[in-house]
Structure 1
Amino acid sequence: MRIAVEHRSRYRFSEPQARLVQMLRLTPCDTQDQTVVSWMIGVDCDARMRDAVDGLGNAVTMLYAEGPIEAIDITVTGEVLTADTNGVVHGSAEPLPPLLYLRATPRTLAGDGLPAFARDIAGSASDPLARLHALNAGLHARFRCAPDAPDTGVSAAEAFASGDATSRDVAQMFIAAARCLTLPARYVSGYRIHEGAPCAPHAWAEAHVEGLGWVGFDPVAGHCPDETYIRVAVGLDAAGAASIAGTRVGHGEEQLDVALSVDQLGGEE
């Protein structure tokens, strides 16, 4: 499938900022399953931009802008060819061993509820892949209406206990639960075509299965990512794969508005 993306992030500041430094995880990488046909990041002010690869293998762009800055628009336009592989990721850059992704972070703390949930839902499954599918189905049954929404900053345990979650929160729940089953898991940020719903950046998870590799699971959708998904960045949690992260020098508040369209172009490739 050929997918076109237009993604604009507009920051407005209540007071002019002296300096901005931002890390942009907005560029997907080529794998055997997706090919970046074209991709461009633009800003509407004078800025220096440097491309690099972070320690997890993500393509990143560092943005440096000097003030005074009252507002900044960051725009992404691109096209990607994708294929359906039943969720299995082939040919991704993997500079670190899978065991790293057993490490918990403050955002993926399991608390008391998730370990019991993981054991009840997936503990009796016959093999690791079956346990992961059971976990995906169990979370989908509980959080099938979780929206794509801005990061709430809560942990997996807090979101699970409250019952009020976004797709980011549910991805972190899957990660925390999988790690409770001693299965390496990580957070994925990206895009998907989702008919009939407001378009927003999406989140899902990947877990490592011995002999198979990394496999994607989307507990909000209840299935593995297919050709309608574009995989952009991975991390130990939502903060580690955030599309835009950085610092600013200046006082006042900031306001963020996001506009996104993700559409299929033509027929399937």
Structure 2
Amino acid sequence: MLLSIDHVTTYRYDSPARGVVQSHRLTPSRFEGQRVLAWEVSVTGGVEGGSFRDGAGDWVQGWSVKGPVEEIEVRVRGQIETFDTSGMLKGHREMVPPEAYLRDTPATEADEALRLLAESARHDEPLSYAHALAFAVAGAIAYRPGVTDAHTTAAEALAAGEGVCQDHAHALIACARVAGFPARYVSGYLFADAEGTPHEAAHAWAELFVPGYGWIGFDPANRCCPDQRYVRLGSGLDAREAAPIRGTARGAGAEHLKVAVSVQPPEAVKSTASQSVATQSQAQ
């Protein structure tokens, strides 16, 4: 599947920041499930810094913006070809051993309820157990936008019984680690949900390391494994570690964030552009 990505993150500051430093994981992962055709990241007023591929195989790019600055726009534009690998992360190079992803974080620490949920899904066969864990999380946490926030933990989301993709991923990671599976959080994009409804937003899911298979992605929010509708950016122990943009601003003013993401087939982008040109011509 050919997909065009347009992802804009806008930062606004109540009072001008003296400077901003950011670390980006905004470049798609290199593995058999996707191939980048064109990709560009820009930062208004930004100076590109050092870059490297980390031990998890993610491309990390540094940026800095000199102040005073009241607004910064980080824009990602690109085209990518995706392939269905049944959720398996084939051909992905990384140096971090899977066992490193057995560590808990505050967001993924399992309480008694999460431990019981993991036990309720138990299977003797590892792959079946991994699938059962994903379905158990999907059944225990209803998808409900706006009921949780960036700091909600897996335990809190399970107790509430509702949340968003971040909460599903955190809860699955917590249950998987209880079951002995190394597990990690994955950030990326999703073209459409399981019913085919355009998603047009950043998305998150989890990967579990299953003996005999390696890393496999599971998306409890959509009750499936990632396929050609998904674009993988990067991973980490939890949402904070896997965040596409991390940074800090020097200054006393509050920071306000706005995100807009569009994931479309290239033909739709061309069609939208043509309609826009036609409308402008008629107006003239």
Report TM bin, short chain. Answer: over 0.9
Match of 2:232 in 1: 231
Amino acid at match of 1:130: S
Q: How many residues align?
A: 265
So what's the TM-score if we normalise by structure 1?
Answer: 0.93
CA distance, structure 2, for counterparts of residue 39 and residue 13 of structure 1: 28
Match of 1:247 in 2: 248
2:188 to 167, 176, 190: 190
CA distance, structure 2, for counterparts of residue 32 and residue 226 of structure 1: 12
Do the aligned partners of 1:25 and 1:60 also contact (CA within 8 Å) in 2?
yes
Match of 1:93 in 2: 93
CA separation of 1:171 and 1:6: change in aligned 2, threshold 3 A: same
Q: Deviations over 1:64-103 (max 9, x none)?
A: 1110011000000011111111111101122111111111
Match of 2:263 in 1: 262
Q: Give the C-alpha shift of residue 198 in structure 1.
A: 5.4
Structure 1, unmatched stretches of 5+, are: none
CA distance, structure 1, for counterparts of residue 253 and residue 148 of structure 2: 20
CA separation of 1:150 and 1:27: change in aligned 2, threshold 3 A: farther
1:173 to 171, 194, 197: 171
CA distance, structure 2, for counterparts of residue 261 and residue 204 of structure 1: 18
Amino acid at match of 2:26: L
Q: Secondary structure of the equivalent of 2:180?
A: coil
Do the aligned partners of 2:141 and 2:158 also contact (CA within 8 Å) in 1?
no
Match of 1:127 in 2: 125
Match of 1:43 in 2: 43
Give the alignment of 1:156-167 within 5 angstroms.
156-167=154-165
Match of 2:72 in 1: 72
CA distance, structure 1, for counterparts of residue 20 and residue 55 of structure 2: 22
Do the aligned partners of 1:48 and 1:65 also contact (CA within 8 Å) in 2?
no
Match of 1:12 in 2: 12
Is 1:3 the counterpart of 2:9 in the alignment? no
Match of 1:112 in 2: 112
Q: Give the C-alpha shift of residue 43 in structure 1.
A: 1.4
Name the structure, 1 or 2, with higher relative contact order (CA <8 Å, separation 6+): 1
Q: Give the C-alpha shift of residue 149 in structure 1.
A: 9.2
Q: Give the C-alpha shift of residue 160 in structure 1.
A: 1.1
Q: Deviations over 1:114-136 (max 9, x none)?
A: 0001101x22x231110111111
Q: Give the C-alpha shift of residue 56 in structure 1.
A: 2.1
Q: Secondary structure of the equivalent of 1:108?
A: coil
CA separation of 1:179 and 1:227: change in aligned 2, threshold 3 A: same
CA separation of 1:73 and 1:247: change in aligned 2, threshold 3 A: same
Match of 1:21 in 2: 21
CA distance, structure 2, for counterparts of residue 188 and residue 198 of structure 1: 17
Fraction of identical pairs, as percent: 40
CA distance, structure 2, for counterparts of residue 148 and residue 221 of structure 1: 17
CA distance, structure 2, for counterparts of residue 217 and residue 19 of structure 1: 39
Q: Deviations over 1:213-268 (max 9, x none)?
A: 1000000000100100001001011111011111111011111111110012359x
CA separation of 1:52 and 1:149: change in aligned 2, threshold 3 A: farther
Match of 1:212 in 2: 213
Do the aligned partners of 2:190 and 2:229 also contact (CA within 8 Å) in 1?
yes
Do the aligned partners of 1:34 and 1:230 also contact (CA within 8 Å) in 2?
yes
So what's the TM-score if we normalise by structure 2?
Answer: 0.89
CA RMSD of aligned residues (A): 1.8
Give the alignment of 1:134-145 within 5 angstroms.
134-145=132-143
Q: Give the C-alpha shift of residue 63 in structure 1.
A: 0.7
Do the aligned partners of 1:144 and 1:221 also contact (CA within 8 Å) in 2?
no
Q: Give the C-alpha shift of residue 137 in structure 1.
A: 1.2
Amino acid at match of 2:240: A
Amino acid at match of 2:179: L
